[in-house]
Amino acid sequence: MVEVLRLERAKFYRKFIIEVKDKLKRLNYIMFGAMLALIACGTIAIYSAGHSRADIIFHSMWKSNLYTAIFALGLYFMLAFTDYKKILKWGSAPLYVTALLLLIIVLIFGTVRLGGKRWLWFFQPSEISKLCILSFISYLIGSVASPLGEMRHKFRGFLILSLLVAIPVVLILEEPDLGTALTLLAAILVMFFIGRVWRAGLVTLIATGAILATCVLGAVYEAERPGTTAERKAAILKYVPLEPHQVKRVKVFLFPDEDIHDSGYNLRQAKISIGSGGLTGKGIGKGELNGMKYLPQSISMNDFIFCVWAEETGFVGSIILLTLFGIVILSGVWIAYRAEEPCGRLLAIGIITLFFAHVYINIAMSIGLVPITGLPLPFISSGRTFLVTMMLALGLVQSVSIHGRSGEIL
């Protein structure tokens, strides 16, 4: 009996080792290496940005970022080695409901920081909710066993999917967190397109969004342009669905040089920081605009951390950072392309679109290409919830790389 148990145990361990080796072979090491390099760059940037702040608590933020990354790495591999199909089949609906509950709870009991009620105790529900929503939508669109079935190609299916997305988006906008809502919508739209959701509705939705965005920009332009009376300005902005601070950001985008000492100060200093880095930068920890606090300290570690990196590493360092981002994005697209199972393809492309939206909007706002939005830069900005979320997201993409070609269809 003892000998039989010993043989069974040995057989189990042998099978386990073979499975682990097989999974490690399918892991996308290019994406994994780029992610680790980005985490290293982020730790360096947070170290530089933190040491320029007067409050000593920020001097050790780079350690917090590093410890969080090490902790999240365990979750990353756990998700990567877990078959995403099981997660989507049994967990996507409960995760979606949990995300809605957290988004409601944070509006009631959340902590107000920087003008928004986005924090619940020590984390941001809106960040975690993005993964829950993307997982649920990928299952509904891609699974043959989905309650929607073939309805996704028709108006009814499009309407149901749109409502399921609209509910959490509205809750996120109530915080308010426009940046997070926009990146989530971008990922969902791409998933709708790849998943062949009712095309007429998709085109109508995109066209309506473009028209509304144009109308909002036009209204803010008319209200804020020089010479507009206070009465006319108030009359126009009454119909603009933006908070006062958001209107200010759009104004800075439209008229970047009009008020460089007040509303346009942050953008001007961001551009100067990036430009002053030159070809090779001023050296890690030697950025003058960051060190002398010309770059606003409240955002130097988060929204505008790319400016710190660009000033200290220059054009060369910026290109290296962009290359690493490009490697992650292209690796994710390749994983989605090679996935043989629809849900995995949709999940991977949705996550990579979300990742790309964060990178594009954050860097573009730093150089004035889009209005300033409070969006962090993946793996570079300080923020434990966001860092864990991004690592979990790429862990799911790795799960698609490992399990997406098994032939099993959800």
Domain that holds residue 249: 2-403
Overall domain count for the chain? 1
Contacts of 283 (CB under 8 A, 6+ apart): 312
What is the three-class DSSP state of 119?
A: strand
pLDDT of residue 4: 59
CB 328 within 8 A of CB 35: yes
Instruction: Give the integer Cα–Cα distance in Å for 387 and 14.
Output: 35
Q: Please give the structure tokens belonging to residue 282.
A: 């001023």
410 in a domain, yes or no?
Answer: no
What is the three-class DSSP state of 155?
A: helix
Torsion of CA 239, 115, 50, 280, to 10 degrees: 0
Q: Please give the structure tokens belonging to residue 373.
A: 């939005």
**What is the amino acid identity at position 228?**
T
Instruction: Give the integer Cα–Cα distance in Å for 285 and 49.
Output: 8
**Other CB atoms within 10 Å distance of the CB of residue 222:** 13
- Ramachandran assignment for 278, one of left (phi > 0), alpha (psi -120 to 50 degrees), beta (any other): left
409 in a domain, yes or no?
Answer: no
CB 377 within 8 A of CB 57: no
Instruction: Give the integer Cα–Cα distance in Å for 116 and 139.
Output: 31
CB 310 within 8 A of CB 41: no
For residue 116, the cross-strand partners are: 113
**116, containing H or E segment:** strand 116-119
CA distances from 50 to 199, 377, 382, 388 (A): 48, 16, 10, 20
Torsion of CA 277, 281, 286, 291, to 10 degrees: 20
CB 84 within 8 A of CB 344: yes
Contacts of 87 (CB under 8 A, 6+ apart): 79, 135, 396, 399
Q: At what angle do helices 342-366 and 305-338 cross, to 10 degrees?
A: 160
Q: What is the DSSP letter of 58?
A: G
What are 176-191's pLDDT values in tens digits?
888 899 999 999 999 9
At residue 266, φ and ψ (nearest 5 deg) are: -60, -45
Name residue, tokens 């209204």. 219
Torsion of CA 220, 221, 223, 224, to 10 degrees: 100
**349, containing H or E segment:** helix 342-366
166 in a domain, yes or no?
Answer: yes
Mean pLDDT, the chain cut into blocks of 10 residues (410 residues total) = 64 67 83 96 88 70 90 95 92 94 89 74 86 94 79 87 94 87 93 90 89 89 82 84 82 76 72 83 74 61 86 92 97 94 94 96 89 88 91 96 76
What is the three-class DSSP state of 146?
A: coil
**How many helices and strands in the chain, by DSSP H and E?**
16, 2
Q: What is the DSSP letter of 112?
A: E
